Structure 1
């Protein structure tokens, strides 16, 4: 991994953690001033942010360590554990907020100094909004799920803060105190949805769930190679999985049976280069299984000169996610027939 990217990730995580502590003290102060359930929900969200970001910082440190004897594929999978942990913490916070708000509906509490509380929470929400966009932008730039998950959490925190401000203003204007716990419940439901999404994404990553967009990007790279180099015939059974910012890819590549090992190796190098370009990262490790062609491949082969051709090239396929992850083309066509 690029050292500059690693430092960028750690810097972003430290900024997030530092601001998390600042936000918590500001919001808990606002809660003691106002006694508002909506403000309490915002303060609880900040506690979750601190706990989740602390774990994320450790995960970030671990994920950047190089592969070793015990972990030959590296430590990148910890990113999915981190995102799942953060999602679970968000969901626990949401349920706690709902419990507090329901209690306040049943047994209303006195709330005061709403104007001061609104000012504090507004400032916190603006800071969190900027921090969330910064974390997501840095996460996408460095291909870090940890920072993206943390950024989404902070944006959720910002929405919670704006909601808390809305609750305070409504109570201040109307003197209807019921607005406070009701808005707190609505905010908690939004938080619950964000947490569920992060947990779902984490499970998908740990189980190596396919992302058709990534496979389509690989397919586009292969199409580019085929346009300028027609010394191979077909791709099938492509699979990939992701560990941190590293992609592990394997697939079968059909080449003319009469090509030497050296010639086929050169073809593989061309294909690997295009895959790296299509994914926009050098962190790619591929394992390509070479298959020799047979007479059943002739109708999909576009090699201009071949002394062994049994029939002319008559079909062209676009190599999208469905095509390159399936069986060899001639096997699929045989089944259709």
Structure 2
């Protein structure tokens, strides 16, 4: 947990400093060069600074140990922060959409941007590529959906800056400053779309679901490898960061002693932990062959097979 906290904090600080430099540079050049697209790109980088501050704050929260109020710990703060990031990105995109849309609709007279806008955009693409790659690697290493969401946002920034560069290029070739505004409009729509994508991705974890349902097949395979354990059912799994909370029922021979049944349950737990990254696991043991009422919750082999068809 300590190592994970350090990864999150270090990645957040690097993101804050890198994006602050790029944001100040792009907004300054955007105003000086008269390019709405570059200015909008700079505003987007400014939101990345806010996003990174959120990730820094969240890194302090997720590392807190469980307590009586939060018995499972604070891991879900990571997903909550990613949800907050989606709103920040959305409002930045809407702001840019309104400003560029207004300049197009009301045909505001524009001059050709200065060529310095091209050079700062090239620099932005290189810088954002480095930041996105670093954030994604650290997010995978720490199992943080928050850092991975931030990396995806920066990847989008690379696409945005590439769009700005293309817009500037054609603006200078065709001598039509309106192309700069149109590029800014398209960029704003892309920003809004990326915010919606991040918002939807975090729903699964916050709704106590799992993104990769193959985890259930791994659980069933782990149970099958334990002699004496049969009929795994009412299997439930949810995510806390990159770890899984798992609970399941298994059946054993009803004539076994409590110690023998308990040992089988321990072997099931051990096998599952060998193939799944587990935060916590509960194995409930039942006597074999008892009639079960239809369960409202959980997954069994039959229901999983139906979903995979």
Asked if Structure 1 and Structure 2 have the same fold, meaning a TM-score greater than 0.5 normalized by the shorter chain, the answer is: yes
Residue of structure 1 in register with 2:217 after alignment: 219
What is the correspondence of 1:67-82 to structure 2 with a 5 Å cutoff?
67-82=66-81
Contact between 2:139 and 2:148, CA under 8 Å: does it hold in 1? yes
Q: Secondary structure at the match of 2:209?
A: coil
Contact between 1:240 and 1:247, CA under 8 Å: does it hold in 2? yes
Quick one: distance in 1 between partners of 2:214 and 2:152? 26
In the TM superposition, what is the alpha-carbon distance from 1:28 to its structure 2 partner? 0.8
Q: Structure 1 residue aligned with 2:288, among 267, 286, 293?
A: 293
In the TM superposition, what is the alpha-carbon distance from 1:139 to its structure 2 partner? 0.8
In the TM superposition, what is the alpha-carbon distance from 1:194 to its structure 2 partner? 0.8
**Which structure would you say has the larger Rg?**
1
In the TM superposition, what is the alpha-carbon distance from 1:127 to its structure 2 partner? 1.0
Structure 1 window deviating more from structure 2 (143-152 vs 200-209): it is 200-209
Contact between 2:235 and 2:300, CA under 8 Å: does it hold in 1? no
Q: Which runs of 5+ in 2 are unaligned?
A: 293-297
Q: Structure 2 residue aligned with 1:275, among 272, 276, 283?
A: 272
Q: Secondary structure at the match of 1:39?
A: helix
In the TM superposition, what is the alpha-carbon distance from 1:88 to its structure 2 partner? 0.8
What is the correspondence of 1:315-326 to structure 2 with a 5 Å cutoff?
323-324=300-301, 326=303
What root-mean-square deviation, in Å, do the aligned CA atoms of Structure 1 and Structure 2 show? 2.3
Quick one: distance in 2 between partners of 1:15 and 1:113? 31
Residue of structure 1 in register with 2:175 after alignment: 175
In the TM superposition, what is the alpha-carbon distance from 1:108 to its structure 2 partner? 2.7
Quick one: distance in 1 between partners of 2:45 and 2:183? 18
In the TM superposition, what is the alpha-carbon distance from 1:209 to its structure 2 partner? 2.6
In the TM superposition, what is the alpha-carbon distance from 1:110 to its structure 2 partner? 2.9
Equivalent pairs, count: 300
Structure 1-normalised TM-score?
Answer: 0.82
In the TM superposition, what is the alpha-carbon distance from 1:29 to its structure 2 partner? 1.5
Quick one: distance in 2 between partners of 1:68 and 1:236? 30
What is the correspondence of 1:190-205 to structure 2 with a 5 Å cutoff?
190-205=190-205
1:187 aligns with 2:187: yes
Structure 1 window deviating more from structure 2 (26-35 vs 217-226): it is 217-226
Quick one: distance in 1 between partners of 2:271 and 2:210? 20
Quick one: distance in 1 between partners of 2:78 and 2:186? 30
Quick one: distance in 1 between partners of 2:40 and 2:254? 67
Residue of structure 2 in register with 1:236 after alignment: 233
Structure 2-normalised TM-score?
Answer: 0.89
Contact between 2:12 and 2:55, CA under 8 Å: does it hold in 1? yes
